[in-house]
């Protein structure tokens, strides 16, 4: 067994459903089994998490996949290279609009994302103030909203100014009428819907390809200095992902999400049954694609070219995408 370069680990995360493998690995003692003393650090926002990871206050973190090419290109204003070798989730985000806005524009559940986009972009073009929010500028949520708006009007999609809010604040913001809609991962869409505030009108999978959404990330420097520690971290998380995928009964995992203040509403096989099983299906899906793909980061970089006016050539996109994928650990979970 290779000696670990470091055993006391600070692991950052944002309270979203797709941090569950990290919480479960800690809860089950999988990190400890691999010689690690992991402290989970709940961060208030993606900006805070990014900064603390880049400057070494966190060893590793639950990160937005698009943070990695943003760091490689310097678009994050820091330019400290990040990398990943483990995907925590693919695009399971949703677009929600306030029920008030849906009523005003006669948006109904049977309408397609294209039809709804046309109504929204026409209203914006006619001067109606509609404020939409994403979780972070460099995120698939950002690009999902842009691509969705472009279904109705490319010019609006290009120039529309999105708000940025941490995921847990989306519900409060729509309740306070600060925003009219958002794109975020679960459970925040369901919470807002159950509170009668909003309605899910599209899934990200209807608009963009299946792309890595959250990843386990470190800085390049940290990965080079701690290859065996990173390997141990990954093995522990892969054990947790296996549990998520293969467990017939998710009651203990569900309890952990409630105790961690991620699921904040009553939902079970008896109450809000459809939402309950939807969340269970999403949890099971988090282990479907654990190895990052070059094409994921190439797609993100192409979106940065399209919406953020980068001028990257194809060979530059390939090189930057490759730099986002770590080379220092194995994918053997045994």
pLDDT tens digit at each of 334 positions of the chain: 579 999 999 999 999 999 999 999 999 999 999 999 999 999 999 999 999 999 999 999 999 999 999 999 999 888 899 999 999 999 989 999 999 999 999 999 899 999 999 999 999 999 999 999 999 999 999 999 999 999 999 999 999 999 999 999 999 999 999 999 999 999 999 999 999 999 999 999 999 999 999 999 999 999 999 999 999 999 999 999 999 998 888 899 999 999 999 999 998 899 999 999 999 999 988 887 889 999 999 999 999 999 998 999 999 999 999 999 986 444 444 4
Same domain, 217 and 308: yes
Same domain, 181 and 245: no
Cα angle 186, 191, 193 (rounded to 5 degrees) comes to 105
Same domain, 172 and 217: no
Same domain, 114 and 166: yes
Which one of 206, 226, 247 terminates a domain? 206
Which residue range forms the structural domain that includes residue 107?
A: 93-206
Same domain, 75 and 219: yes
Number of domains observed in the structure of the chain: 2
Same domain, 221 and 80: yes
Which one of 191, 206, 221 terminates a domain? 206
The answer to whether position 165 is within a domain reads yes
The Cα–Cα gap between 304 and 73 comes to 10
pLDDT at site 249: 86
The answer to whether position 272 is within a domain reads no
The answer to whether position 253 is within a domain reads yes
Same domain, 97 and 86: no
Q: Which residue has the tokens 């397609």?
A: 112
Q: What tokens appear for 165 in the block?
A: 């809010």
pLDDT at site 40: 98
Query: Do the beta carbons of residue 21 and residue 240 sit within 8 Å?
Result: yes
The answer to whether position 3 is within a domain reads no
Same domain, 173 and 317: no
pLDDT at site 120: 98
What DSSP string runs through 133-188? EES-SSSHHHHHHHHHHHHH-HHHHHH---EE--GGGHHHHHHTTS-SEEEEETTH
The answer to whether position 281 is within a domain reads no
Which one of 160, 189, 206 terminates a domain? 206
Element (H, E) at 38: strand 37-42
Same domain, 191 and 255: no
Same domain, 45 and 140: no
pLDDT at site 334: 40
Q: Which residue has the tokens 């847990």?
A: 168
The answer to whether position 315 is within a domain reads yes
Same domain, 173 and 258: no
The Cα–Cα gap between 312 and 317 comes to 6
pLDDT at site 77: 86
The answer to whether position 275 is within a domain reads no
Close Cβ partners of 303 (under 8 Å, ≥ 6 residues apart): 66, 143, 146
The Cα–Cα gap between 12 and 52 comes to 9
pLDDT at site 333: 40
Same domain, 131 and 59: no
The answer to whether position 54 is within a domain reads yes
């Amino acid at each position: 067994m290779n000696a670990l370069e470091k055993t006391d680990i600070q692991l950052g995360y944002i309270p979203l459903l797709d941090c569950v493998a990290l919480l479960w690995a800690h809860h089950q003692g999988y990190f400890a089994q691999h010689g690690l003393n992991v402290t989970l650090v709940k961060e208030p926002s993606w900006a805070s998490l990014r900064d603390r990871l880049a400057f070494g206050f966190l060893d590793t973190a639950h990160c937005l996949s698009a943070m990695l090419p943003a760091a490689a290109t310097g678009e994050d204003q820091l330019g400290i290279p990040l990398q990943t070798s483990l995907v925590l989730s693919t695009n399971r985000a949703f677009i929600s609009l306030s029920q008030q806005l849906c009523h005003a524009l006669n948006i109904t559940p049977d309408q397609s994302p294209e039809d709804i986009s046309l109504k929204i972009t026409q209203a914006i073009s006619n001067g109606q103030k509609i404020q939409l929010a994403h979780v972070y500028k460099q995120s698939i949520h950002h690009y999902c909203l842009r691509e969705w708006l472009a279904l109705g009007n490319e010019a609006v999609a290009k120039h529309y100014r999105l708000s940025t809010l941490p995921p847990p604040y989306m519900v409060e913001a729509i309740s306070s009428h600060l925003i009219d809609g958002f794109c975020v991962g679960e459970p925040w869409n369901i919470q807002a819907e159950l509170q009668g505030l909003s309605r899910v009108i599209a899934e990200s999978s209807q608009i963009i390809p299946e792309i890595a959404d959250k990843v386990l990330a470190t800085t390049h420097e940290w990965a080079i200095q701690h290859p065996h520690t990173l390997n141990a971290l990954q093995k522990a998380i892969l054990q947790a992902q296996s549990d998520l995928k293969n467990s017939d009964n998710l009651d203990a995992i569900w309890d952990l999400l409630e105790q961690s203040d991620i699921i904040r509403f009553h939902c079970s096989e008896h109450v809000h049954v459809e939402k309950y099983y939807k969340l269970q299906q999403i949890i099971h899906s988090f282990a479907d694609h654990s190895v990052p793909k070059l094409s994921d980061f190439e797609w993100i970089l192409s979106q940065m070219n399209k919406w953020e006016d980068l001028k990257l050539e194809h060979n530059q996109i390939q090189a930057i995408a490759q730099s986002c994928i770590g080379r220092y650990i194995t994918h053997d979970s045994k």
